[in-house]
């Protein structure tokens, strides 16, 4: 069902518009999504500039940020950016469609990448050389010697038809069938170099035909737990950097702050939450940040559906996190509907905040609460100086699925980074030129 991005005039429609996982779709050469809000300082511009800069080795970046800060939305916008599309052939997808994020392996990511490049290029009208199709079909044959992927092994004579069926089914079967997952991983492990060479050959073929290099934007790679993320991006980082393809990997904030991430930190960009207070002055409001969050609400619902004081409290409670703002608004809308009100009031938002805090009370352990108290003790309203060590320990203790929302704040060890605004790392031209070995 196609979603209509229209401003709500009643509570029922407002509830729908604040769906937590609502994708803000946008078409190439089309207008911005009606619900999209420009962020102060346009932090995503730094990643776009890095990709548009001249490079010697194909650029690869890790894109991080707390859950709900807008990474998925910004990747969608990047995929249709005219400047990006002039230089690259963007392939944007979510790893959730191709693999089980709770049992993810670096081999799953490489296969998903290859399958999506093939399928999206074909869907866009692209044709690959016969020799390359033959090599891809040999890989398909190696996999299907071990496990059946395509029903009946597709006896048609057209190689493209067999490959279309194989790549269409491979992701679903890897995601749902452990037996298939194990067999495919073993085939890839036996000749990982061969798979990398295939990816490189496909990339070169696309560039030869279009004069644009493939740019793979992989969403939801921040969902695996920290141990799996470390295995993929630390233990196997050499393999993940080898494909001759421009790639943006999403990574979780716990991984971003982990010691294991240091080896690739020069390739990392962090998307901050919307800033609601000037640095170290939590008793003051950042006017631009508050305006941004108010605009986020007003694009989805008529201003008359919420009182001014209720909206201000909702912004404060959200912590500058878009997804968290949706949660607050949904709680408040539900309460207003129960009371048959035509307008959200301050009490509704305050109750929403209480409900969300209760959720955290249920998921946090005693040790995590102790660390939060330590952070809070160093973070009074007059001076925000949370101890980095405590915040980092809490960050690594929480699984990525349970982490951010309003709990997480970026550690205060900013001296190692160059920043735009308050929290965005600016990559240098040299970042694009590190060896991919």
**Dihedral (Cα; 315, 321, 326, 330), 10-degree rounding:** -60
**DSSP H or E run through 424:** strand 424-425
Q: What is the pLDDT of residue 30?
A: 80
Q: For the ranges 85-99, 307-321, 372-386, which has the lowest average pLDDT? A: 372-386
Q: Give 48-94 as a DSSP string.
A: HHHHHS--SSPPEEEEE--TTSSHHHHHHHHHT-HHHHHHEEEEEEE
Decide if pLDDT at 7 tops 90.
Answer: yes
**Can you tell me the mean pLDDT for 54-68?**
92
**Can you tell me the mean pLDDT for 170-176?**
84
Three-state SS annotation for 326-364: HHHHHHHHHHHHHCCCCCECHHHHHHHHHHHHHHHHHHC
Q: For the ranges 32-46, 121-135, 142-156, 235-249, which has the lowest average pLDDT? A: 142-156
Q: What is the pLDDT of residue 395?
A: 52
pLDDT (tens digit, 9 = 90+) per residue, 189-203? 999 999 999 999 999
* Rg, the chain, Cα only: 23
Q: What is the pLDDT of residue 209?
A: 96
Q: Are 320 and 289 in contact (CB under 8 A)?
A: yes
Q: What is the DSSP letter of 268?
A: E
Choose among 232, 260, 227: nearest CA to 247: 232
pLDDT (tens digit, 9 = 90+) per residue, 223-255? 999 999 999 998 999 999 999 999 999 998 888
pLDDT (tens digit, 9 = 90+) per residue, 269-283? 899 999 999 887 878
Return d(Cα 211, Cα 86) in angstroms, integer: 9
**Residue 380 confidence class, pLDDT cut points 50, 70, 90:** low
Of residues 72 and 408, more confidently modeled: 72
Q: What is the pLDDT of residue 352?
A: 93
Decide if pLDDT at 425 tops 70.
Answer: no
Q: What is the pLDDT of residue 415?
A: 30
Task: Count CB neighbours of 157 within 10 A.
Answer: 6
Query: pTM surpassing 0.85?
Result: no
Decide if pLDDT at 104 tops 90.
Answer: yes
Q: Which spans in 124-177 are helix H?
A: 130-146, 159-176
Q: Are 48 and 84 in contact (CB under 8 A)?
A: yes
Q: What is the pLDDT of residue 151?
A: 60
**Can you tell me the mean pLDDT for 115-133?**
94
Decide if pLDDT at 365 tops 90.
Answer: no
Of residues 150 and 390, more confidently modeled: 150
Decide if pLDDT at 309 tops 90.
Answer: yes
Decide if pLDDT at 75 tops 90.
Answer: yes
Q: For the ranges 22-36, 350-364, 387-401, which has the lowest average pLDDT? A: 387-401
Q: What is the pLDDT of residue 176?
A: 87
Decide if pLDDT at 381 tops 60.
Answer: no
Q: What is the pLDDT of residue 420?
A: 27
Q: What is the pLDDT of residue 152?
A: 55
Q: For the ranges 35-39, 52-56, 126-130, 146-150, which has the lowest average pLDDT? A: 146-150
Return d(Cα 202, Cα 204) in angstroms, integer: 5
Whole-number average pLDDT of the chain? 84
Which of these CATH numbers, 1.10.3470, 3.90.1480, 2.10.260, 3.40.50, describes 37-272+422-433?
Answer: 3.40.50
Decide if pLDDT at 393 tops 60.
Answer: no
Q: What is the pLDDT of residue 132?
A: 94
Q: Which residues pair with 218 in a beta bridge?
A: 93, 249
Q: What is the pLDDT of residue 253?
A: 86
Q: Are 320 and 37 in contact (CB under 8 A)?
A: no
Decide if pLDDT at 160 tops 70.
Answer: yes
Cα 61 to Cα 48, 248, 269, 400, distances in angstroms? 11, 5, 7, 20
The burial of 145, by beta-carbon neighbours within 10 Å (0-12 exposed, 13-18 middle, 19 or more buried), is given as: exposed
């Amino acid at each position: 069902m196609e979603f209509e991005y229209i401003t709500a005039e009643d509570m029922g429609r407002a509830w729908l518009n604040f769906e937590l996982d609502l994708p803000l779709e946008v078409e190439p050469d089309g207008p911005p999504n009606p619900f999209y809000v420009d962020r102060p300082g346009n932090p995503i511009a730094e990643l776009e500039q890095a990709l548009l800069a001249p490079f010697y080795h194909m650029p690869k970046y890790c894109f991080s940020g707390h859950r709900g800060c807008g990474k998925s939305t910004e990747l969608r916008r990047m995929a249709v950016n005219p400047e990006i599309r002039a230089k690259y052939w963007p392939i944007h997808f979510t790893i959730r469609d191709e693999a089980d994020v709770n049992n993810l392996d670096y081999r799953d990511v490489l296969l998903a990448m290859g399958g999506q490049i093939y399928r999206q290029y074909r869907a866009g009208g692209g044709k690959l050389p016969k020799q390359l199709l033959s090599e891809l079909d040999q890989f398909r044959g190696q996999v299907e010697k071990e496990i059946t992927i395509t029903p009946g092994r597709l006896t048609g004579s057209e190689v493209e038809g067999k490959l279309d069926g194989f790549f269409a089914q491979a992701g679903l079967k890897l995601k749902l069938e452990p037996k298939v997952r194990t067999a495919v991983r073993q085939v890839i492990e036996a000749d990982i170099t061969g798979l990398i060479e295939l990816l490189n050959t496909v990339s070169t073929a696309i560039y030869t035909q279009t004069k644009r290099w493939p740019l793979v934007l992989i969403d939801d790679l921040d969902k695996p737990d920290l141990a799996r993320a470390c295995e993929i991006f630390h233990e196997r980082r050499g393999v993940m950097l080898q494909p001759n393809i421009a790639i943006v990997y999403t990574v979780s904030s716990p991984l971003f702050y982990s010691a294991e991430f240091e080896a690739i930190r020069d390739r990392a960009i962090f998307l901050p939450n919307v800033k609601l207070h000037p640095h170290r002055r939590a008793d003051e409001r950042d006017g631009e940040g508050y305006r941004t969050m108010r605009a986020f609400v007003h694009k989805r619902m008529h201003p008359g559906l919420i009182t001014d004081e209720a909206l201000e409290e909702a912004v404060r409670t959200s912590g500058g996190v878009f997804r968290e703002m949706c949660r607050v608004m949904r709680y408040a809308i539900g309460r207003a509907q129960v009371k048959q009100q035509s307008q959200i009031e301050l009490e509704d938002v305050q109750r929403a905040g209480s409900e969300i805090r209760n959720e955290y009370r249920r998921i946090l352990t005693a040790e995590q609460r102790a660390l939060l108290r330590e952070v809070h003790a160093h973070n009074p309203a007059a001076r925000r100086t949370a101890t980095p060590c405590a915040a980092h320990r809490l960050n690594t203790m929480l699984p990525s699925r349970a982490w951010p929302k309003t709990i997480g704040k970026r550690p205060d060890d900013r001296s190692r980074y160059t920043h735009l605004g308050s929290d965005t790392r600016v990559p240098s031209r040299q970042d694009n030129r590190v060896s991919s070995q």
